[in-house]
Amino acid sequence: MSHPTKQRLLEAGLPLLLEHGYSDLGIQALLAATDTPKGSFYHHFEDKEDFALQVVDRYMEQVHAGLDRCLGDAGRPPLQRVRWFFELTEQSYRKEGYMGCLLGGLGQELAGISEVFRRRIEGCFSEIARRIAVCLEEARSIGDLPADADARRLADLLVDCWEGAALRSRLRGNATPLTAMLDFYFQSAVARIIPGTPGASPSIT
């Protein structure tokens, strides 16, 4: 179990990184916000980069907990499970004031200047897409997606679209882009046949 001081710093790091980004996150501001001596910070973290990477790891623990809860719910059809995960994520964004996705924000800021962050964040997105693809493959196997559907490609598309919508949501300060994206994806991008034609799949919203 993590040391209480380390836990406190990591918990404070998420909202600070969301609000200020990596470059503008001052260690002194973090220490002041958590009432932590400078020596304690460097006891638990090598430097600012190590701290931010561990915040990303903590964030991913939350993401995986959400994936476990939603994708593992055998009482819902697979496509509903996938949408439920993103709906719960939107609720989390709302509580944070629509600051967007930590991975997306750090990726946009650091991917061009830090290979360490680029690889870590891309790996996080790939793992999220991999887990979603398993659920989409289940949907394909029971006929809720076309037999020739590429589950991993659809999962990657969903993650990519979500990240773009998360940025627009932050700019607008509301959920409209997120909801519109989910509606479009589940009514069109993964529709079994062209929406509006006889026999089209019903909406899963």
The whole domain housing 54 covers 48-189
Does residue 10 surpass a pLDDT of 70?
Answer: yes
The answer to whether position 40 is within a domain reads no
Per-residue confidence at 47, pLDDT binned at 50, 70, 90?
A: very high
Neighbours of 50 (CB within 10 A): 13
Give pLDDT tens digits for 125-135.
Answer: 999 999 999 99
Instruction: Supply the pLDDT for residue 192.
Output: 53
Residue 199 lies in a domain: no
Q: List, for residues 64-106, the tens digit of each pLDDT value.
A: 999 999 999 999 999 999 999 999 999 999 999 999 999 999 9
Structural domain includes residue 34 = no
For the residues 101-118, what does the mean pLDDT come to?
A: 96
Give the C-alpha separation, 152 to 131, whole Å: 9
User: What is the reported pLDDT for 188?
Assistant: 81
**In this structure, is residue 203 part of a structural domain?**
no
Owner of token pair 């499970």: 81
Q: Is residue 163 part of a domain?
A: yes
Place of tokens 């973090």: 30
- Global pTM? 0.89
Q: Which long-range contacts (CB under 8 A, 24 or more apart) does 144-148 make?
A: 144/77, 144/78, 144/79, 144/192, 144/201, 145/79, 145/190, 145/192, 146/192
The pLDDT assigned to 107 comes to 96
pLDDT in the model for residue 101: 96
Query: How many Å apart are CA 145 and CA 30, to the nearest integer?
Result: 47
Per-residue model confidence as pLDDT tens digits over 158-196: 999 999 999 999 999 999 999 999 999 998 867 654 343
* pLDDT reported for residue 149: 93
| pLDDT (0 to 100) of residue 189 | 67
Kindly report the CATH number assigned to the domain that includes residue 79: 1.10.357.10
Q: Is 79 part of a structural domain of the chain?
A: yes
Write the CB contacts of 151 (distance below 8 Å, at least 6 apart in sequence). 133, 134, 136, 137, 139, 140, 145
Residue 38 covered by a domain: no
Q: How would residue 119 be classed by pLDDT, with cut points 50, 70 and 90?
A: very high
Tally the domains of the chain.
1
The predicted-structure confidence for 17-33, as pLDDT tens digits, reads as follows 999 999 999 999 999 99
Helix (H, G, I), strand (E, B) or coil at 26: coil
The answer to the question of residue 202 being in a domain is no
